[in-house]
A and B are shown apart, each in its own frame.
Chain A
Amino acid sequence: MTTTDYDPNVVLSTENDFKVVGTRPVRHDGVDKVTGRAIYGADYDASGLLHGKILRSPHAHAKIISIDTSKAEALDGVHAVVTAADFPEAADKIMELGEDETKLRDLRGNILARDKVLYVGHAIAGIAATNAHVAEEALSLIEVEFEVLPSVMTTDEAMADGAPILHEDQTTEELGDDSGVVSNVAKHFQHIKGDIAEGFKQADVIVEREYNTVTVHQGYIAPHNGTAFWSADGRLHIWCETQGSFVVRDSLADLLDMPVSMIRVTPTEIGGGFGGKIPIYVEPVAALLSKKTGTPVKIVMTRKETFEGSGPTPGSKIKIKVGATKEGKITAAHAWMAMEAGAYAGSPVGAAAQCVFAAYDLENGLIDGFDVVVNKPKTAAYRAPGSPNAAFGFEQALNELAEKLGMDPIDLRLKNVATEGTRRVDGPVFQRIGAKEVLESMREHAHYLSEKQEGSGRGVAIGFWFNIGFDSACNIALNKDGTVNLTEGSTDVGGSRTSIAMQAAEVLGISAEDVRPSVVDTDTIGFTAVTGGSRTTFATGWAAYEAAQDVKKQCITRAASIWDVDPDHLQMEDGIISSKTDSELKMTIKELAAQLSDTGGGITGRASVKPRGVGGSFCGNIVDLSIDQETGKITIDRFTAIQDAGKALHPSYVEGQMQGGSVQGIGWELNEEYFMSDEGKMNNTSLLDYRMPTALDLPMIDTVIVEVANPGHPFGVRGIGEANIVPPTPAIANAVYDSCGSRITQLPMSPGSILEALKS
């Protein structure tokens, strides 16, 4: 065992009055996953299955003059070829897609390019064949005539005067109004609080700097996949790895112009998502191919396709200006942020704007956000989308400010920290939040109090991500042995079916093992929004709580009828129904369950919720690193993540999220990037050259779970999946500065760039 003189994983618990919540049961789907039995999307098989492949653009920007599929169709073993022309024409509309919204026309254009290709990897045609080898061979027989156009790869290029335009019909929305100006800037918006000009006048110290980040990928290990079967009765059935089965269903209904009731989506187990498996890519192509062939068609992306043809998170340019009095009170802050949306509008700059100053109580703040289209894949959500980019700027600027003021960087943050009642620059007023408690835990942590190793650097930073509410549904059926079957619609990326089941168990007074949770298809459960926005344990957990309350109420009513007493005189606690007045009247839920059939039939609880009491979570990092002075290589020596979980339902899972998010942040910081050629091709489309951290690149990731209960949830839960990826980039940058005295403002911090900084 790693020996440490402190507990590497601490839970600072505020509320221990629970039987199940806060414990660490083994996940219900665990045995299937350690024995290889769990069925992921690529594992799905069906009789008569055909295999699909997708032809993708070799050009970053080009007009499609013509597509000739005849030779491909003639190849032995090829059953069908589809292009954008196979989509029904439907009027454009705005679609709600999980955390984002997009135009139907844009989504359709991204699935299969119609008139233009907008990035290397843009899908053009799909082929279904007897096996994947034949399908891949047939791709090379499709002839496409392109007129190649100049491309733009960064916000700078895209925003420049005279830049090549991706969408001739896209005019900039300027501060809420259509400017009528055709440009690659889809939108410029502002959030204003107070008067920053006045604020900067009051400042004794001002820091102003520009920060740049590049495109990175979520890096889930299972590539996108989907199987479609268009039955002779007109119904379409999809099996796929998705973070939102209902998003898949509803998107397909719009794209294919058919009623949602004609589409059934069965979510398989999912090999990672991190936001990237919210949008659909291959599912509609598989559906069109199945419609043509009458047989099931499966499409599984390669790793290269996953990099080039799915949705990474954007590169960005961020300019920060922040001023403070010599006592450390921030008087004004301005964040100017431009983010690459990829080929179609909709970067996470909106979320970045909500997060950039969220941890602080600012009197005067201004946020400018620019959503900019470029010739890269359309970006998708990636764990706290936008917030890490923003924090890379602002949290570095704060450390610079602290240094100028001669203050401890945590003290500076505490002096300005947001608390209950703080109005954010973008408007909302915080309910009870844990930013202050996280910072205080950081300041008191053994890591922060320890002496640094000789030659190492230490950095700190914090980050924010909200929780979204949205719709969730849950059904609970009581079995005759007192166990329950729980069905819900949140696809489970990392153990959520257990954290949801635990909430039902807590209400019913039974063990987590006595709840059998299942993630079911869209025909079988009420509408449930995406697994994203740190909402699943929070919101679907709430649905489970309500459904369990429904079961509990029915149990009490049933017992009352059996005993012929007033239900108001009964209670149910720890799985025992008893009378408040007659101590003789007592029955366990198991005893009741055994009599259900004879006493009026089964008991099923149900709930559909759209919770509003959303919390939001803060996470802080303390990081120690050392730099090889001759090569510039950074070694992370020690890493501590401290996050407010509200109430940690399953502390191991909370720790797991914190550790996983931290390491994604470390990868983002050190080595990950889309290395683009001048022609707009990604040069590193393998997992050898897209350098995600390996086990050997990391220390243990120590955790502290802070619990500041969310008053908006029955157990105080906050969604904790995302905030943990926000602080690593600035915390490491701050540690690099501490180590070598240079401010690195460009990600990733490759060894070569660090060596340059060491020299200067």
Chain B
Amino acid sequence: MSGIIVVTNNFVRDIKDNQGGSLLKWIDYQAPESVADAVKILADSDGKARPLAGGTDLIVQLRVKDPRVNAETVVDIKKIPELNQMDYDKSGGLTIGAAVPLHLIYNNPDVIKHFPAIIDSASLIGGTPIQGRATLGGNLCNGAPSGDSIPNLVAHKVIATVAGPNGIREIPVEDVCTGPRQTSIDSNELLVSLYFPNPGEGFGANYIRFIPRNEMDIAVAGAGVSVNISNGKFVDARVCLASVAPKPILVEGASKALVGQPVNDESIQNAAEAAREAASPISDMRGTAEYRKHLCEVLTRRALNTAIERAGGN
């Protein structure tokens, strides 16, 4: 760069150049009261509208003028009934609306009783005041590789219900994230809710992450796992990792290492090593690639042990 004359138009900047307290860019605000109205606003906006639920990511992105969030309109979706539902159904499944804030989730009796592992994520995204606003839906749609709820949703085999101009479609949650902050939900579509199917017998799950502080941090690595145990054997298992690839990754090798195997340290270690191998992290200020791969192994092992305990298998 030395010696080159550069004309700097300061408007074109790296996102980092606006981190830490810049003001919001100009936006219009709409607060529709039905899914149809919301979808219409999104569809009419030529990709320049963004749903606003808790805003704990979106408002920061608007402040830093993130070019990936080219929003001229924010669509406040908190007034839409379907997006605020929390419904435990007869089949043993749970629907959580996309705009339900985390604090309502971890205080919900059905969650506490039937899906306690969701609380692992819901209670560690941000701090208490963030949890007053932030949502699982927003965490998923933000599509950050480090999103603390996404591996947990994947471990729970959650189905995302999405409304768009052509009606409703359902997406397995592991197919939502496609890259760093990219999702398969189109800019004219709206995530309505997340469906947690009945996890079946002998189920246990857990999400843990590694951060240098004890709260208020971005995962250096995270592992969301689930197991179904019957007669001392894994009959089903999922391991999904955060922060170690361009998107959260479902580790097929870990499932293979567990399903059909007895619940013991060897199986768990094999799954942990599969997680380590599946991770393809970068080195950055949060940690080196090698350290993050190592963490995947440690976190997967620890999370599996907790999940097994919760499944009553240990």
Contacts and interface: CB of A to CB of B under 8 A. Distances in A.
Contact of A148 (B6, B13, B220, B295): B6
Contacts of A687: 20
Contact of A693 (B5, B16, B213): B213
A694 B213 contact: yes
A671 interface: yes
Contacts of B24: 133
B23 interface: yes
A700 to B, nearest CB: 15
A603 to B, nearest CB: 49
A143 B8 CA distance: 6
B215 A696 contact: yes
Interface string A294-321: 0000000011111100000000000000
A145 B2 contact: no
A55 interface: yes
Nearest to B302: A630
Nearest to A308: B20
Interface in A120-162: 132-133, 136, 139-150
Contact of B212 (A136, A223, A671, A696): A671
Interface in A679-726: 681, 683-689, 691, 693-694, 696-697
A752 B291 contact: yes
Interface in A613-647: 630-631, 633
Specify the main secondary structure of chain B where it touches its partner.
loop
A586 B298 CA distance: 79
Chain B CB within 10 Å, residue with most, of A146, A631, A675, A685: A631
Nearest to B17: A58
Interface string B151-180: 000000000000000000000000000000
B2 A670 contact: no
A301 to B, nearest CB: 8
Interface in B1-33: 1-11, 13-14, 16-24, 26
Contacts of B231: none
A681 B14 CA distance: 11
B112 interface: no
A685 B14 CA distance: 13
Interface string A498-516: 0000000000000000000
Nearest to A133: B23
Contacts, number: 118
Contacts of B284: 683
B20 A302 contact: yes
B233 interface: no
Give the size category of A's interface with B: 35 or more
B288 interface: yes
Contacts of B10: 55, 58, 139-140, 142, 144
Contacts of B7: 143-146
Contact of A691 (B16, B21, B26, B213): B213
A755 interface: yes
A666 to B, nearest CB: 11
B98 to A, nearest CB: 24
B81 interface: no
Contact of A146 (B8, B127, B287): B8
B90 to A, nearest CB: 40
Given A55-B10, A631-B210, A631-B295, A685 B19 contact: yes
B218 A689 contact: yes
Given A145-B7, A146-B8, A696 B214 contact: yes
B213 A671 contact: yes
Interface string B188-219: 00000000000000000000001011111110
B20 A686 contact: yes
A304 B218 contact: no
B48 interface: no
Contacts of A62: 6
A490 to B, nearest CB: 29
B19 A752 contact: no
B141 to A, nearest CB: 20
Contact of B5 (A65, A675, A685, A694): A65
A77 interface: no
Nearest to A676: B285
Nearest to A304: B20
A683 B5 contact: no
B22 A304 contact: yes
B114 interface: no
B218 A145 contact: no
Contacts of A696: 213-215
Nearest to B8: A144
Given A688-B217, A688-B218, A751 B17 contact: no
Given A304-B19, A686-B19, A697-B214, A58 B2 contact: no
Contacts of B291: 751-752, 755
Contacts of B17: 58, 681
Contacts of A306: 20
A694 B216 contact: yes
Contacts of B285: 675, 683-684, 689
A595 to B, nearest CB: 57
Interface in A158-211: none
Contact of B22 (A55, A141, A302, A755): A302
A411 B169 CA distance: 73
A518 interface: no
A683 B16 contact: yes
A631 B8 CA distance: 43
B294 interface: yes
A750 interface: yes
Contacts of A150: 1-2
Nearest to A302: B21
Nearest to B5: A147
Contact of A688 (B216, B220, B288): B216
Contacts of B216: 688, 694
Contacts of B1: 148, 150
A154 to B, nearest CB: 17
A139 B14 CA distance: 15
B21 A148 contact: no
A289 B291 CA distance: 50
A-B pairs, top 4 by smallest CB distance, nearest first, are A304-B20, A302-B21, A140-B11, A303-B20
Given A58-B8, A675-B285, 10 more contacts: A55-B10, A59-B8, A133-B23, A140-B10, A140-B11, A144-B10, A302-B20, A302-B22, A685-B19, A696-B214
11 contacts: A55-B10, A133-B23, A142-B10, A143-B8, A145-B5, A149-B3, A150-B2, A683-B284, A685-B20, A687-B20, A691-B217
